Amino acid sequence: MKRKTVGLASLALFMSIVSACGSSGGGTTASGTQTGTTGNAEGSASGTVIKIATQSPLSGSSSIQGEAIRLGAQLALEDRAQEFKDLGFTLELAPFDDQGDAKKGVANAEMIGADQAVLGVIGHLNSGVSIPSSVVYEKYNIPMISPASTATEFTDRGLKVANRVVARDDFQGPAAAQYAVNELGAKNIFVVQDKTAYGQGLAEAFRDEAEKLGATIAGYEAITVGEKDFNGVLNIALSKKPDFIFFGGLYAEGGLLVKQAREKGISAPFMGGDALDSSGMVEIAGDNVKDSLYSSVATDIAKAEGGKEWADKYKAKFNKNAEGYSVYSYDSMTIMLDAIKKSIESSDGKIPSRETVRDAVRATKDFKGIATEVSFDDIGDNIYAKVFIYKFEEATYPGTMVSEVSKQQ
């Protein structure tokens, strides 16, 4: 009898633990995958829950840009919360840390797909994570809008769920090359890339356009994400005597490359792509960042109409300055919420299907956001996306915008 009582007590304790583990709540999971709130699709005291997930690196070497995506999306969601509450729905943000890793992004995407309350995803930062994760979202019919992924393959596969508000690498790379050759007179260019889908694709687009414009590619070398010592590749560059260096890769490696290049006596102008559009570039390179350039798919928000007011609001909310992708994530979330609202209206005020939201996102036309105008074409690219060229005239972020390029329609 005593043994039976103990067994019943143990069962009760086990059930209470299971119940606690299954309850909704914020915080970080044991794996560090999700860092935001969770919810119950069946509803809450204030209405049926609608979740929008974010996926971006919240830890690791790209976490500055990854956090910017999360915070921009959060601000947009909070700005619209009352509007949806009046419709009988509670908005919740579900931020996931993809760690800039494809396997982690895919695993997170499966978790997102299994949560029926999730109707959309804002992310990812890295093209190499967006591409495989989007295959999972396609399976679950969950629309995604990337505020940052630029690799051509992301949208060229024709998935119904994959969309982005920024320019493609086959626009950004050539625009950067045209500035280097036509404006700066680069003739003997050394190219470095980090072997990622993003970095290699951007470097190849830059290289091919530079050659078309008559420049010589003195060298084309690869590094690995996570490396710290670039003595080898920089010795090769030094022997080639380039008058310009282009890097296709992330700010963690880009900052070290320019710092070590200057310390080695390489004075050629250094340029990278939009992944160098981060305060982390300045933190890593320090004063050596001065006179470096970067192409970006993000505008200087302080110069956009209403941008300064938005940036001030962002800083007041989060006690930090906006990064390049902060406002693009805000615009992406606004587009997603517009699509969800339209889908609710077309579903007689009820929770819409993911397919309905997916199609409403792709149908976005002439959206005017804080940073950009957006119309998605038939594969999810934004026909209004632009490329911007910046120069670090001082060791401060952001750099000074020196050129703005619109793609001819």
Would you state the pLDDT for residue 407?
82
DSSP string over 242-270:
-SEEEEES-HHHHHHHHHHHHHTT--S-E
Would you state the pLDDT for residue 46?
52
How many helices (H) does the chain have, and how many strands (E)?
A: 13, 14
What does the pLDDT profile of the chain (409 residues) look like in tens digits?
Answer: 433 333 434 434 333 333 333 333 333 333 344 544 433 334 444 579 999 999 999 999 999 999 999 999 999 999 999 999 999 999 999 999 999 999 999 999 999 999 999 999 999 999 999 999 999 999 999 999 999 999 999 999 999 999 999 999 999 999 999 999 999 999 999 999 999 999 999 999 999 999 999 999 999 999 999 999 999 999 999 999 999 999 999 999 999 999 999 999 999 999 999 999 999 999 999 999 999 999 999 999 988 889 999 999 999 999 999 999 999 999 999 999 999 999 999 999 999 999 999 999 999 999 999 999 999 999 999 999 999 999 999 999 999 999 999 986 5
Would you state the pLDDT for residue 254?
98
C-alpha 153/C-alpha 167 separation (Å) is: 13
Helix axes 231-240, 251-263, angle to 10 degrees: 60
Q: Exposed, middle or buried, 25 (CB in 10 Å: 0-12/13-18/19+)?
A: exposed
Predicted TM-score of the model (pTM): 0.88
- What is the C-alpha R_g of the chain? 23
Would you state the pLDDT for residue 303?
86
Would you state the pLDDT for residue 408?
66
Would you state the pLDDT for residue 23?
33
Distance of CA 30 to the CA centre of its chain: 24
Distance of CA 272 to the CA centre of its chain: 17
Please list, in sequence order, all residues whose beta carbon lies within 8 angstroms of the beta carbon of residue 346, skipping any fewer than 6 positions away.
352, 356, 360
Q: Which of 303, 292, 356, 297 is closest to 332 using CA atoms?
A: 297
C-alpha 347/C-alpha 48 separation (Å) is: 14
* Cβ atoms of residues 310 and 327 within 8 Å: yes
Q: Which amino acid is at 91?
A: L
Token pair recorded at residue 149: 């992924």
C-alpha 241/C-alpha 268 separation (Å) is: 9
C-alpha 54/C-alpha 146 separation (Å) is: 10
Domains of the chain (ranges, CATH numbers)? 34-167+307-376 (3.40.50.2300), 169-296+388-406 (3.40.50.2300)
